[in-house]
Amino acid sequence: MPNIREIAKRAGVGIATVSRYINNTGYVSDDAKQKIQKEIDNLNYTPNALARAIFTRESKIIGLMIPNISNPFFNQITTIIEKYSEKMGYTLFLCNTEDNKEKEAKYLEVLKSYRVEGIIALRSQCREEYLNVQIPVVSFENYILPSIPIVSSDNYNGGKMAFEHLYKKGCRNILHIKGPKAFEATERRCEGFVDGAKEKDIKVDIVEFENDFHVEMLEENLSGIKNIEDYDGIFVFNDIAAAVVMKYLKERQIMIPDKIQIIGFDNSFIGELLHPSLTTIHQPIKELGILAVELLIQLINQEEVDIKEYLIETKLIQRETTKHRLTGE
Ligand code: XLF
């Protein structure tokens, strides 16, 4: 493997000159530049990005903690974050945390050792682990530390909207399948949903799912719900879990939406592919992803950033799992 010592020797310049040229860290004469570049081309030399990052403190890498790579919402937001980071001159280092605190903490060490310039943590399960991270961090949904800004959908209002929609569609015997306690966003959805129900004096039942990616586990949770067919409306905490609920009901010949109406949350691409297609609450995935990157780059550039929770509005997407026409509508 060619190295800068060899390039310097062949170009007839000093190693420090080659280093300045490659890292763009100081003056190099035009003549030397030409000679060095010629040898770089001749030797097909690729700079050692890690060594360079240590030297210049600019790796141009952003670490992205992803809680669940198989959930379409997270692969959509990852795609947005990747595209926008690339446009801004950064490469992503992806870490699949599986909502696991230990895995996330380990990845944090890896990201530090790779000298990433910033970290976006989606649904982080860690807190004090970030205390000695001297790298800018932006969080999506979960609170980490007072110094870390949070980007999130307005989950409370989204949950309320979900209730109001089921109510408007005539549902009065309603179940909410909520996410695990560790998902702060779905806690807010649940609060909004319950408050919406209180305003209409309706009592809703609530069951909690343990995660959002093990289909068998979700099915097991469902089989624990007694007389599910007695409900006329179900709000499921996200689209992927709603897909599992729909599969479960269909296998039991429970008609959607005639017998039970369903609403999910996310507006990820699977909603439209399901049959019947899924009514859901839209999370502005593009806006969320871009905002997270923008804030992070501002922090990296040491610009002033308001450290607060940035809430983005959600909206209802009506599809086939809730009834289209009702008398009086
Ligand atoms: O963390 C929440 C729960 O699942 C996230 O926004 C999602 O809705 C993605 O599917």
| Kind of pairing between the strands at 118-122 and 61-66 | parallel
Q: Please state at what angle helix 155-168 crosses helix 184-199, rounded to 10 degrees.
A: 40
C-alpha 98 to ligand 1 mean position (Å) = 13
Select the highest-mean-pLDDT range: 54-68, 126-140, 211-225.
Answer: 126-140
Is the predicted pLDDT of residue 53 greater than 80, yes or no? no
Closest CA to 202 of 162, 248, 242, 241: 162
C-alpha 135 to ligand 1 mean position (Å) = 26
Sheet of 118-122, strands arranged across: 91-96, 61-66, 118-122, 137-140, 150-153, 309-312
Is the predicted pLDDT of residue 296 greater than 90, yes or no? yes
272 to 66, 199, 276, 277: CA distances (angstroms): 24, 31, 8, 5
85-127 pLDDT, tens digit per residue, is: 999 999 999 999 999 999 999 999 999 999 999 999 999 999 9
C-alpha 173 to ligand 1 mean position (Å) = 25
C-alpha 323 to ligand 1 mean position (Å) = 25
Pocket of ligand 1 (CB under 6 A): 71, 73, 123, 141, 179, 183, 185-186, 212, 237-238, 240, 265-266
Ligand 1, atom nearest to 266 Cα: 8
221-280 pLDDT, tens digit per residue, is: 888 888 999 999 999 999 999 999 999 999 999 999 999 999 999 999 999 999 999 999
C-alpha 292 to ligand 1 mean position (Å) = 16
Ligand 1, atom nearest to 72 Cα: 10
Cis-peptide, bond into residue 276, ω within 30° of zero: yes
DSSP conformational letter for 90: -
Look-up of token digits 């019947």: 276
- Where are the extended beta strands (E) located within 162-259? 174-178, 204-208, 233-236
| Kind of pairing between the strands at 279-282 and 315-317 | antiparallel
Q: What is the pLDDT of residue 327?
A: 47
- If one residue of 68, 69, 71, 209 were mutated to test the ligand 1 pocket, choosing by the most ligand atoms within 8 A of its CB, it would be 71
The residue whose CA is least distant from atom 4 of ligand 1 is: 238
Give the dihedral of Cα atoms 219, 223, 225, 228; nearest 10 deg.
Answer: 90
Cα 278 from Cα 301, distance rounded (Å): 42
Cα 77 from Cα 312, distance rounded (Å): 14
Q: Indicate yes or no: pTM above 0.85.
A: yes
Ligand 1, atom nearest to 155 Cα: 6
- If one residue of 68, 70, 73 were mutated to test the ligand 1 pocket, choosing by the most ligand atoms within 8 A of its CB, it would be 73
Tokens of 6: 């060899």
Closest CA to 267 of 253, 278, 256, 251: 278
- If one residue of 155, 189, 212, 240 were mutated to test the ligand 1 pocket, choosing by the most ligand atoms within 8 A of its CB, it would be 212
C-alpha 145 to ligand 1 mean position (Å) = 20
151 to 134, 139, 143, 188, 270: CA distances (angstroms): 20, 6, 10, 14, 23
Look-up of token digits 């009086």: 328
Cα 62 from Cα 297, distance rounded (Å): 9
C-alpha 289 to ligand 1 mean position (Å) = 14
139-169 pLDDT, tens digit per residue, is: 999 999 999 999 999 999 999 999 999 999 9
Ligand 1, atom nearest to 184 Cα: 1
Cα 297 from Cα 117, distance rounded (Å): 9
